[in-house]
Chain A
Amino acid sequence: MLTVFRYFFGRARGAILGWGITLALLGLYMVGFYDTLAEQREMLTMLIQQYPPELMAFFGGAADLFTPAGYLSLEFFSYIPLVIGIYAVLLGSGLLIGDEENGTLDLLLAQPISRTAFFCGRLLGMAAILAAILGIVWIGFVLGERGTTMDVAALDMLYPFITLFAVLFIFATFSLMLSMILPSRTLTATLGGLLLFVSYFINSLAQLDENLRDLAEYLPLRYYQSGAAIHGLNGDWLLGLFGFGLLFALLAWLLFLQRDIRVSGEGSWRMPFFKTARKQPR
C-alpha cells in the first residue's frame, strides 16, 4: 500500500507545486492588501452597497469585508472550492479509471497486491495530494498575514483550509464513486464538475432565495465554513463532510473489488442514445 501511495503521490508532484505555489502566491498577494483595503473602508463600503445582492451572494454574501474572516471569505475562500474543486473532481475521477483507460492498471494489478491495498494507497495518495496543495497555500497565507494587521494566528488560519479540504475530499470521493459506475473518465469528470458548479450556485443563491434553502441543506457546500472558520471549526459539519466522503470512498472500494479491469475500454457499457463502437474482448 505504501508503495502505491508513494508512487502516486510522487507522480503528482508537478500538480502539487503548480496548484500550491500559484494559490499561495495569490494568498500572499491578497492577504497583503488587507490593510490597504481597510484604509479605504468608507469608499469601498459605498461601492459594495451598489453591487447587486446576487453578485455578492457568490462571494460570501453579507460577510463583512473589513473583518479578517469576511475579507478571507470574500477574497478567497468563497470561490476557491469551485476553482480547486475542479482539480479534486479530476483527481477523484481519474484515481483508478485514469490508469485503467490508459491501460497501465492491468499490469499494476497483476502484481501481488490486493485491490484493497491498491485502493487504499491511491485514496491516501489523493488525500495527501489535496492536503499538500492546501498546505502550501496555507504557508502563503501565513507569510502574507505577517506584514498586516489582520492578526490571525497560524493555527487559526489553518482552520479554513481544513474545512476546504473536507469539501474537496467529498467531491473527490464522490467523483471516484461515480467513476466506478459510469463508462468513462470524461463522463465522470463532466458530471462531477457539473455537480460541483450546481452545488456552488444553489448554495450561493440560497442566501437570497428561501425556496432554495431546503435544497442547499443537502449539498456539501452548505457545511463549508469558508473564512469564518478562523474563529473555530464546526465539528459536526466537519464530521458530516468527512463522514460522507468516507462513505463515498467505501462504496467506490466495494465497486472496485467487484470490477472487471478493462483493457482500453473492453467491456464498458454503452450510453443509451449514443452509438459508439465497442471493443470486442480478446
Chain B
Amino acid sequence: MSDFAIQTQALTKNYASVRALRGVDLEVHQGEIFGFLGPNGAGKTTTIRCLLDLIHPNGGRISVLGLDPQKDPVAVRARSGYLPGELRMEENFSGEGILRYLKALRGNQTDWDYTRQIAARLDFDLKTLVKNLSKGNKQKLGVIQALMHRPDLLLLDEPTAGLDPLMQQEVLNIIRAARDDGATVFFSSHLIHEVEVIADRVGIIRNGKVVEVAQPSALINRSLRQVRIRFKEKVSEQELTQVPGVSLLGGEDGLSVILKVEGEMDALIKALAKYPVSNFETERQSLEEIFMTYYAQHSSSKNNQVDAAHEEA
C-alpha cells in the first residue's frame, strides 16, 4: 500500500481561458494533517474537487488512497469525507434529515452514535431546519457530515469558516482526534494561524502551482528573525554584520544592537560567544508573516518581470 494518501503529478485544470491549476505536484502522507494555504483564487478548491472527481482535470495524474478518482470515484468517495467551501444543503430538511439522507447515500455505512457525539461536542441541534440555521451552524453540520462515517481521508475546504473562536478550536480538536484515529486530513485555509496550530505539513499554492511544501516549523525556522542584544560593554557592530545572514537594523552606542538574521542562528550565536552579553531577545515571524512575505516576493518578482517586459517593448 502506498505511503501517500494523496499524490498528484502535474495536475492541470482550465476553465475556458482561465488556468486554475498549472501543474500541481502534491504528496500527502497517510495519517498526517496537511494544510493547503493560498489566497482566494489560488486553486485550493479546484484541487480538492479534482480529488473527488467533481471536476475533471485537463492533465496530470491523481492518486487518492491508492485509487484513481477518475476511474473509481465511488470507492474514493466511500473512504473520504468532504466539506465543501461553499456549503449548501437542502433548506427544508432538518440537520438530522440531511445527515440521514447522506447516510442513506452511503449505504447506511455511518456511525450514528459517533455522529451524535460530534453534534454534541459542537453544540449542534440536529432537529433544527437547515433554513433556520445560522452560517456557523450550517458549517457545524458540514463538519459533522464529513466525519460521520469515520473516513480514511478528510478533505476539508476551509473547515472553520463562519465559526466563533471557541467552535473553531473545537473543530480543530475534532480534526486532531480524527487524525489520531488514523485518518489523513487535507484541508485548505487562508487562516494561517489555524494551519500553524494544527498542520503537520503545509503546502502553499499560488496561481495554480504548489510553490512550497514544508513543516510549519521549518518554514518559520527558515524565515527572518529579529534579534535584540544588549552587551555589558561596547562591541563592534561591523564585526557582527560580517556574520553570514546577519544585517544591522539599529543600535545604541555600541551597547545594544538590533539585528536581522536570515536562516539558522548558529553562526550568530557562535560569534556572540566572545562578547559579554547581558540580554538576548529574538522574535520570529509568524507563519502569516512568512506567507505574506512569500507572496510579496513573488508579486514583486512578477511585477519586475512585467516592468522588464515593458522596457523591452
What A residues does B49 contact at CB under 8 A? 106, 261, 263
B74 within 8 A of A: yes
B54 within 8 A of A: yes
Q: Which residues of B contact A (CB under 8 A)?
A: 13, 15-16, 18, 20, 40-46, 49, 52, 54-56, 73-75, 77-78, 80, 82, 84-90, 92, 101-102, 104-107, 142, 145
Q: For B46, give its contact among A4, A109, A282 (CB under 8 Å).
A: A282
With A107-B84, A260-B15 already in contact, 6 other A-B pairs whose C-beta atoms are closer than 8 Å:
A111-B105, A111-B106, A112-B75, A280-B41, A281-B15, A282-B44
- A–B pairs, 26, beta carbons within 8 Å: A3-B101, A7-B104, A11-B90, A102-B88, A103-B86, A104-B89, A107-B82, A107-B89, A107-B142, A108-B105, A111-B102, A258-B56, A260-B15, A260-B56, A261-B49, A261-B55, A263-B84, A266-B15, A281-B13, A281-B41, A281-B43, A281-B46, A282-B40, A282-B41, A282-B42, A282-B46
A113 within 8 A of B: yes
Distance in Å from the Cβ of B83 to the closest Cβ of chain A?
Answer: 9
Contact between B15 and A267, CB atoms less than 8 A apart: yes
What B residues does A110 contact at CB under 8 A? 52, 54, 77, 80, 82, 84
**Residues of A83-136 whose CB lies within 8 A of B:** 102-104, 106-115
Interface of A is mostly: loop
Given A280-B18, A280-B41, are A103 and B88 also a contact pair (CB < 8 Å)?
A: yes
What A residues does B101 contact at CB under 8 A? 3, 7
Contact between A3 and B45, CB atoms less than 8 A apart: no
A269 within 8 A of B: yes
- CB nearest neighbor in A for B88: A103
A186 within 8 A of B: no
A264 within 8 A of B: yes
- CB nearest neighbor in B for A103: B88
Contact between B15 and A107, CB atoms less than 8 A apart: no
Size range of the interface on A?
A: 20 to 34
Given A281-B20, A282-B41, are A106 and B73 also a contact pair (CB < 8 Å)?
A: no
**Which of A106, A113, A115, A269 has the most chain B CB atoms inside 10 A of its CB?**
A106
What A residues does B84 contact at CB under 8 A? 103, 106-107, 110, 263
Q: For A3, give its contact among B16, B86, B104 (CB under 8 Å).
A: B104
- CB nearest neighbor in B for A109: B54
What B residues does A111 contact at CB under 8 A? 77, 102, 105-106
Cα separation A109 to B102 with both chains bound (whole Å): 10
Given A104-B88, A282-B45, are A112 and B18 also a contact pair (CB < 8 Å)?
A: no
Contact between B74 and A114, CB atoms less than 8 A apart: yes
What A residues does B80 contact at CB under 8 A? 110
Interface string of A246-268 (1 = CB under 8 A from B): 00000000000010110110110
Q: For A112, give its contact among B15, B44, B106, B145 (CB under 8 Å).
A: B106
What B residues does A107 contact at CB under 8 A? 82, 84, 87-89, 102, 142, 145
Distance in Å from the Cβ of B144 to the closest Cβ of chain A?
Answer: 12
